Amino acid sequence: MSGSYIFTEATDLAVNYSLSVADYSHDALTLGSPPPVGIRYQQHALQGILSHRMSRNLTTRLQYGYYRYSEPSLAGVSNYRVHSIFAILSYRWP
């Protein structure tokens, strides 16, 4: 899911969110059945990007991201929460 908002001709905001969920696990509740195997996870990603065009060739961009991954099938060993911040200045050669 994503959305954008244009503040002015030179400044805009973009927001993106994605979700990935999978459950390939199965329960071993009966005797004689195989042990529980398979992966179960949730992955979330949220990004916000603020861009400002200072001139035809010069653009600044501030980007924030939040990412979360949860995998209970591995007892939380590979779980993570991450924040990222990028400040970008780009110049386009004529």
Amino acid type, 32? G
The CA-based dihedral angle spanning residues 48, 49, 50, 56, taken in that order and rounded to the nearest 10 degrees = -170
Q: Is 54 helix (H, G, I), strand (E, B) or coil?
A: coil
Has residue 90 got a pLDDT over 90? Answer: yes
Q: Assign 25 a pLDDT band (cuts: 50, 70, 90).
A: confident
pLDDT (tens digit per residue) in 37-71: 678 899 999 999 999 999 999 999 999 999 999 98
